[in-house]
Every structure is written in C-alpha cells, then in structure tokens.
Amino acid sequence: MTFPYKLVATDLDGTLLRDDDTVSERTREALAAVTAAGAAHIIVTGRAVPWTRHILDDLGYEGLAVCGQGAQVYHAGEHKLLTSLTLDRQLAGLALSKVEAEVGPLALAASRDGLDGEVLVGPGYRVQEGPLPTVFAEDPAELWSAPLNKVYIQHPDLDDDALAKAARSAVGNLVDVVMAGPGVVEILPLGLTKATGLSLAARRLGLKAADTLAFGDMPNDIPMFAWAQRGVAMANAHEDLKAVAQEITTSNEDDGIAVVLERLLQSYG
C-alpha cells in the first residue's frame, strides 16, 4: 500500500482528539495504516510537553511531537526533550504592559519550561475544566520566577479574537500573539510558530514541507498550513483557518482525519 505524503502532521485539541480527549479507534487505525505505508506521523500541539505526554503514552505514540506552539521538539518514545525555546521574560513583561495600556488589566497564566514544567495560574485567570493540572500562584511575581515557554492572557470583557487582535497591535515586534483555542490567547517568542517546530522535527526525519499533509482547527495552525504541502481544516475549525485550507473535512467528533487518510490510502493503494 502506498501513500502520497511522507509526513502527516496533526494538531491535537479539536483535531486528533475528540471533545472527551480520546482518539477514536477508526482514527487510530487510519494513522496505523498510514505509518505502515511508510509515512511518519508527528503530533503538533500548542500544549507544552507536561500537558501532552499522557496522551502520547496512551496512544502508544513513540515518534516526535512538536509541543508548546513549536517551542519544544519531544521524543515520545525516549521521553526526552530534544529542543526547547524559552520566552524572554523581560520582553514579555514589556509587551504585557503595552497590551494593558490599551485594554486594561489582564489575567495571566504561565507555562514553565522543561519536561515537568508546571502551568502557574494567576489571580482571576479562568481555568478550563478538565484533567490538565495547574498550580495557583497567589503572588503574580511567582509567574515570572522561572524560565517560561509562553504566557496565557485573558480579558474580563473581550472575546478571544478581539483580545488577540488588540494584543497583536499593541505589542509590535516584541513578541508574537496567537489564538490557540477557546479561551486560549498566548504570548510567544517572536517568530515562533508550529511551522518552526514542525520544520525542525521534519528535518530530523529527513523530510520536507513538500512531503507534508497537515490537519488543524485553530488560527495557530495557519503557519503550519502555509508550510505544509496541503492543509486540511476540520469542520469545527475557526473561520480564519478554513479560509486558508485546501480542504475541509468532517469534525474531530466525526473522524475528520480518518476520512481523509482512508480516501488517500484507497486512491493510491
């Protein structure tokens, strides 16, 4: 059996994962068939490694994963961090003061660097329900006391798109701002995207952008789609991503990844 791409890159939340944080049997089988046909599968997620590891272990996934919005390349089989890029905390602090000067006070959370980096949550930050662990930091200064890979921001009134837009316009060229999911707006090192991390991981496997089929659902997947040969958005994807996708598949709840992979396997098999 042959497959037209040598690399399949899948986002995690809203894409590979169903809404209950599981991967369907059908999608597992489609990915297994693709890897049996010689393609590599790389998970590319905004989550940092500590929030991703348990899912990779559950999948029996032993390849490379791109985590932290491209900041980390992680070897799942060896439980080893291969590359890690941190956010300059001074620049981030300056950027945040510029955003707050425009929109008023923000609630913050911070993702610490490393294999066991905790996510610290400051006063007023609304944590989404679920299994992902966070540590409450009563003193906001605690958020800045160790190396970080990203800072999460929330605003009491502005929605995600409006906050991301206002923040992007306020920070100039100090840092990057990305909307990564519902309630998730992030401050990142300037120039860091999922495409950055994916290109590093692909290079380790001797693969290129022209070899790559990418799946995603949020605006933070736009650079990955621009880098890959083909970008497929889920039916549940943000409109900004759908606008740049070459194809729209069914939703993450309806095996959108498997639908495309099965079709390609059939066409080229």
End position of a domain, from candidates 163, 188, 213: 188
- Report residue 1's pLDDT band, with 50, 70 and 90 as the boundaries: low
- Report residue 164's pLDDT band, with 50, 70 and 90 as the boundaries: very high
Q: What percent of the chain has pLDDT over 90?
A: 91
> Is 52 inside any structural domain?
yes
**Average pLDDT value for the chain:** 95
Distance CA 107, CA 122 (A): 7
What is the DSSP pairing of strand 184-189 with strand 148-154?
A: antiparallel
pTM across the whole model: 0.94
Same domain, 262 and 197: yes
> Is 1 inside any structural domain?
no
Distance CA 79, CA 98 (A): 38
The candidate with the shortest Cα–Cα distance to 51, out of 70, 67, 30, is 67
The 10s digit of each residue's pLDDT in 80-117 is 999 999 999 999 999 999 999 999 999 999 999 999 99
The CATH number linked to 262 is 3.40.50.1000
Same domain, 199 and 111: no
Same domain, 77 and 101: no
Domain region containing 172:
89-188
> Which residues pair with residue 31 across a beta bridge?
none
- Report residue 128's pLDDT band, with 50, 70 and 90 as the boundaries: confident
